[in-house]
Amino acid sequence: MSEHSPLLANGDEHSYSGVSNDDRFYMGVDKRSLLDTGEAGLSTVEASRRLKIFGPNELQSKEKSPWVKLAEQFWGPMPIMIWLAILVEAITKDWPDFFVLLFLQVLNGVVGWYEELKAGNAVAALKASLKPEAQVIRDGVHQTINAALLVPGDRVTLSAGSAVPADCDLCEGNAVQIDQAALTGESFPVTMATGDNAKMGSTVVRGEIEAVVSATGGQTFFGKTASLISSVDEVSHFQKILIRITMFLMAISFVLVGFCLGYLIYNGEDFLEAIAFCVVLLVASIPIAMQVVCTSTMALGSRKLAEEKVIVTQLQSIETLSGMNMLCSDKTGTLTRNKMELQDDMPIFHPTATREEVLVTAALAAKWKEPPKDALDTLVLNAIDLRPLDQYTMMDHLPFDPSVKRTESTIRGQDGSVFKVTKGAPQIILALAHNVTEIQEDVEAKVLDLARRGIRSLAVARTSDEADGGWVFLGIMTFLDPPRHDTKRTIELAHENGIGVKMITGDQAAIAVETCRMLGMGTTILGTDVLPTANVQDGLSTTLGSDYGAIVESADGFAQVFPEHKFLIVEVLRQRGWVCGMTGDGVNDAPALKKADVGIAVEGSTDAARAAADIVLTQPGLSVIINAITLSRKIFQRMRNYVTYRIACTIQLLMFFFISVLLFHPDSCRFQHFIPHVGDCPYNDNESTEAVDPYFKLPVIALVLITILNDGTIISIAYDNVVPSRRPETWNLPRIYWVSTTLGLIAVASSLLLLFWGLDSWNKNGVLAYFGLGDLPYDQVMMMMYLKISLSDFMTVFTARTDGLFFTRAPGRLLAVAACFATVVSTLLAIFWPFTEMEAISLKLAVFVWIYCLAWFFIQDLGKVLLVFLLEHIDNMNVFERKVSSKKYVTQEAQRQNRIRMGSTLLNNDSFMRGSFVAGRPVDGSFVERSMTLEQAMDRLVRLEAEMKAIRAVIQNASGTGKL
């Protein structure tokens, strides 16, 4: 007997989806036949036929065509400036410069377009590996398929943590809670039941139910209104940094170039020629390729990360990951193997129960006819032969919910009897038992004993066959989830690299203590009773960091936490200035993943967790995360090295031409203002003289060549050989400005000195004349300066890429090859110049320029090393770092090591275990002292509260004065 879609079951009334019977067709097909799907679902053949008719369940992409993207490369602030320069050259009919600038425009556009496509393809490939899946019933079999293959009429299973893959009409079953925030902006989940329509793009928060797909792809509510509900793209932290750097350089460029333009026009220079020179100087000085180089570097890094089983959903997340200094990690599957091993020890707490009965009851509390949903279900269902369970019929099932920590099934036996079974956390199942007072002490003692050995407990119960139908506590299944073999060493590496690791787990406190002890993480495990209650939907206090920061920072982990506590812990750490990462896998982890600076969805995460995360792991374990951080720091260093280099080049070009235009006058052979006279001009009445400019400048073609060779080859810095930092990375812009300015000014000084020598080459006592290079024509002086500036720019790359001496780390092969290529091309052009405006120089002069540049390269490198040494010893520079200083981290790391050493000694003493409290309860012994009276309990609570207030006051005072 087929079950009709709820959409059609309401007669003439409107359904929840708002579609009336007047709208009886879906893309020309009658809905009554289309959505009339039975419990066995569609057949594979019918699903294939419908897929051909209705198309895949995908939204039409609004991606711009490659040709549109190419056209956009030629429109914007920088392209417009180049177009302006091209127009000026056309007006003045300077065709060589016209075609050179046109070539520059085309080359910039094509290179930028290619790199953008390459980066876009990298992101698309990563996102394609995260294709959403759907649980569908076809041919009577539950199976997992690509959500894009869903068709109208498919019968799907919607369970907690899964994204609704298409518009679906809910079938008969228990109500579920649906999060529609992505569609409607509502903060609270909506409860839906039979007959309601769940929209594509929403997420199941709680419950499980079957549904029939009523619309797919562009015909869904989401597909029809995507343009209205799409969120505004937020500017990332990395983009803000690039904008600040670009605006800084543009401000300097416009001021200096504008001053030059005014000076030239004031002194009678042709307006169009002055404009052409200044526009090209702007083009050469402003970092046109900065966005392209940084994006290419991150795109290449994202592919590297994917090879390491780390998928980055947004390229900008790489920059944030490199600065992460605190990781809140869940225990199961990340710190441990997530491969439970069923133990022989199975305590029984009912006189007639057997081991076999406990295992069968646990299996009945799972959906044994479907693929297991988690590791525990897998272990339970693999523990017995499932064929005898065919005599039972599951009437209802409540899947695992983190808020209640148990599953429950209603079962009909072969004799027609109906009973309920449940499995879950021992303290939860124990509270249900009809004889809780009789067995509580024994159960808690056994659970605690198991927990001390790191063994997890899963309680099993069923309702009684008697008239009252109360819950009967049958027994406890025991599992062991041992730590991963590499976790302990990975945590040590994390600490060595400036990353704190806190364990956040829903397991019992004693298990958390034992796991942390084995991993060397310390044993200060707190419970949620030390934290305030947190409602994700409500706004959080801005004083959480000051109120609870000391408590959270001092803890090595938290036990028995709920998802809202994860959210709260992350917020506290972020308010304290930590760059916080959070791992998670469930739908209820989504708020914490979204709140964290770096949300990390671990392997096997739900759709909701993946959607909220910045990074998705495709391999379990903490080592994957640490490897990703190491790679991200390498990527960050490459980008920072490029930014340092690019600022230095901008300063070199701008300051050199600014000073040379104002102070050097080739037509008078004088270095005015500072040096009023540089020898007598060698001209006499019997010698012919060449026409020279009243101020020094390079031809447009020379500046264009410098721009092409620099920006074209520097993309190879994405492949440079770098060593990851041992501390979290930050954009210390003042330090970058100091270093790059120093590099640039040293290069400016060397260029001005060489220009002075060049203009003084006619002086028989000049430096160039001393080396046999005197009597240089002015066109050769310009060529000499072109070669010098080109070589200085390329050599600055090797200075900017290290904090120490340049030879302390070999460059990447591709970067070295690109630099060699560019310098060789520049040298050959200088020697065999085929065009006008400049004149080729001799090989001897080219060799002299090379030696001169290398000598200044060493001076530049030594100047940088000295500056870096000084900056590292100036405490005032620390104000530009993130709030978490290295001193603070070192202090807390020392405290952590002390706790570990004390814990490793004291944990061996039973007296310590009996006297220690975790999450407000003794680590050993009963959870509640039976002999304690109410008055004694109240007195202890009052004293504990007073002690906590005193400790908090001491911590706050210490943190306020910096005396930690």
Residue numbers annotated as active site: 330
Helix (H, G, I), strand (E, B) or coil at 502: strand
| Cβ atoms within 10 Å, residue 168 | 33
As a whole number of angstroms, the distance between CA 51 and CA 136 comes to: 15
User: If you search the block for the tokens 């040590």, which residue do you land on?
Assistant: 492
Q: Please give the helix or strand (H or E) that residue 665 lies within, else none.
A: strand 664-665
Q: Got the DSSP string for 705-772? A: HHHHHHHHHHGGGGG------SS-----HHHHHHHHHHHHHHHHHHHHHHHHHHHTTTSTTSHHHHTT
Among 691, 690, 669, 672, which Cα is nearest to 681's?
A: 669
As a whole number of angstroms, the distance between CA 487 and CA 519 comes to: 7
Tokens of 407: 């599953």
As a whole number of angstroms, the distance between CA 446 and CA 424 comes to: 16
Among 23, 31, 72, which Cα is nearest to 50's?
A: 31
Q: What b/e readout covers 489-521, taking b as 16+ CB neighbours within 10 angstroms?
A: ebbebbbebbbbbbbbbbbbbbbbbbbbbebbb
Decide if 335 contacts 329 (C-beta within 8 A): yes
Q: Which residues pair with 197 in a beta bridge?
A: 169
Decide if 297 contacts 642 (C-beta within 8 A): yes
Helix (H, G, I), strand (E, B) or coil at 667: coil
Specify burial of residue 140 (Cβ count, 10 A radius: 0-12, 13-18, 19+): exposed
| Cβ atoms within 10 Å, residue 344 | 6
As a whole number of angstroms, the distance between CA 957 and CA 949 comes to: 12
Helix (H, G, I), strand (E, B) or coil at 681: coil
Let me know how long the chain is: 964
DSSP 675: B
Q: Which residues contact 630 (CB under 8 A, 6 or more apart)?
A: 497, 724
Q: Distance from CA of residue 175 to its chain's centroid?
A: 36
End-to-end, the C-alpha distance of the chain in Å comes to 72
Tokens of 836: 């006008």
Among 767, 741, 649, 758, which Cα is nearest to 696's?
A: 758
Among 576, 782, 760, 772, which Cα is nearest to 693's?
A: 782
Amino acid at 88: V
Residue 193: left if φ>0, alpha if ψ -120 to 50, beta else—which one?
beta
User: If you search the block for the tokens 């002490």, which residue do you land on?
Assistant: 441
